[in-house]
């Protein structure tokens, strides 16, 4: 695995690598030809996974060549963003449903189509987790838990990309809901592992014990990402 860590990352590198290995350990994927970028973000967190190597990726050489098949990016913000949930209010226009009263909604609009005639749309606000109504709501108590969950989510995407299609069937659909459910499972395993170690090594104060994870990948400092200096 090829790992690039932004030199201005505010979190300890050894802890991030421990957390990354933990998420990878519980998400079986061939990581031998996968690139991982870990960097800061002003947001609470963000992540992305590719089933290919983008054209402007730092993992391509001067000729644009690469021997990697996948790449993922993991970013977790400052500790003051936590605790935080992976859910928020999401608003959208939708048709008025049977049994609903349009006056119960602050915003309404009317329209007409040849097929259905007059109709009413309302601005409905729903509270749900990332991925949709079927995704679990997860609370990250600190940046370490968030890092584990985001890493597990993106690793799951790589697993989906690697599974691909077999015999004309989609073996593992590309689903955000599936990734969030997997992230919750891995996060619960991480919490159990933290409860099993002495109190001074709880995730709020110390990194996860190295004995519980596989050997660390090599970390390569990357002051330049996508052609621009970081920090």
pLDDT tens per residue, range 41-74: 999 999 999 999 898 888 888 777 888 889 999 9
Distance CA 46, CA 173 (A): 22
pLDDT in the model for residue 165? 58
Q: What b/e string do you get for 119-156 counting C-beta neighbours within 10 Å, with b at 16 or more? A: eebbebeeeebbbeeebeebebebbbbbbbbbbbbbbb
Report whether pLDDT(227) > 50: no
55 in the same domain as 161: yes
Q: The domain that contains 149 carries what CATH number?
A: 3.40.390
11 in the same domain as 80: yes
- Domain containing 110: what range? 87-129
49 in the same domain as 155: yes
Q: Which of 69, 102, 129 is the last residue of a domain?
A: 129
Residue 227's SS3 state is: coil
More confident residue, 106 or 192: 192
* CB-neighbour burial class of residue 56 (10 A; exposed 0-12, middle 13-18, buried 19+): exposed
82 in the same domain as 186: yes
Antiparallel, parallel or unpaired: β 34-39 and 70-76: parallel
pLDDT above 90 covers a percentage of the chain that reads 46
162 in the same domain as 115: no
pLDDT in the model for residue 212? 38
pLDDT in the model for residue 215? 40
The answer to whether residues 183 and 131 touch, using CB atoms and an 8 Å cutoff, is no
Q: E strands of the chain, at which residues?
A: 2-5, 34-39, 45-50, 70-76, 84-85, 87-95, 108-113, 117-129, 139-140, 165-166, 169-170, 219-221, 224-225, 228-229
66 in the same domain as 97: no
203 in the same domain as 111: no
183 in the same domain as 217: yes
Total domains present in the chain: 2
189 in the same domain as 154: yes
The pLDDT mean for the chain works out to: 82
Q: Which of 129, 146, 161 is the last residue of a domain?
A: 129
The answer to whether residues 112 and 157 touch, using CB atoms and an 8 Å cutoff, is no
Reported as a single tens digit per residue, the pLDDT across 160-210 is: 998 875 655 666 778 999 999 999 999 999 999 999 875 444 444 444 443
159 in the same domain as 216: yes
Tell me 211's DSSP state: G
151 in the same domain as 106: no
For residue 220, what pLDDT band results from cuts at 50, 70 and 90? Answer: very low
Query: Does the predicted model carry a pTM greater than 0.85?
Result: no
What is each CA distance from 157 to 36, 221, 227, in whole angstroms? 13, 25, 26
pLDDT in the model for residue 168? 57
18 in the same domain as 91: no
Distance CA 91, CA 136 (A): 19
Q: Which of 71, 106, 129 is the last residue of a domain?
A: 129
């Amino acid at each position: 695995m090829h790992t690039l860590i932004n030199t201005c990352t505010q979190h300890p590198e050894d802890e991030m690598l421990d957390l990354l290995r933990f998420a990878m350990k519980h998400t079986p994927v061939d990581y031998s030809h996968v690139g991982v970028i870990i960097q800061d973000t002003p947001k609470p967190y963000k992540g992305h996974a590719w089933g290919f190597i983008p054209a402007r990726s730092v993992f391509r050489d001067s000729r644009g060549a690469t021997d990697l098949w996948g790449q993922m990016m993991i970013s977790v913000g400052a500790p003051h963003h936590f605790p935080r949930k992976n859910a928020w209010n999401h608003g959208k226009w939708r048709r008025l449903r049977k049994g609903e009263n349009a006056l119960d909604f602050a915003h309404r609009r009317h329209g007409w189509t040849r097929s259905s005639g007059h109709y009413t749309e309302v601005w409905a606000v729903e509270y749900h987790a990332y991925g949709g109504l079927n995704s679990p709501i997860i609370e990250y108590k600190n940046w370490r838990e968030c890092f584990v969950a985001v890493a597990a989510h993106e690793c799951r995407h790589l697993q989906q990309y690697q599974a691909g299609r077999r015999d004309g069937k989609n073996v593992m659909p590309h689903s955000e809901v599936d990734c969030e459910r997997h992230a919750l499972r891995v996060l619960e395993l991480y919490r159990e592992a933290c409860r099993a170690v002495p109190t001074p090594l709880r995730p709020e104060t110390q990194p996860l014990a190295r004995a519980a994870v596989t050997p660390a990948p090599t970390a390569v400092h990357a002051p330049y990402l996508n052609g621009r200096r970081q920090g």
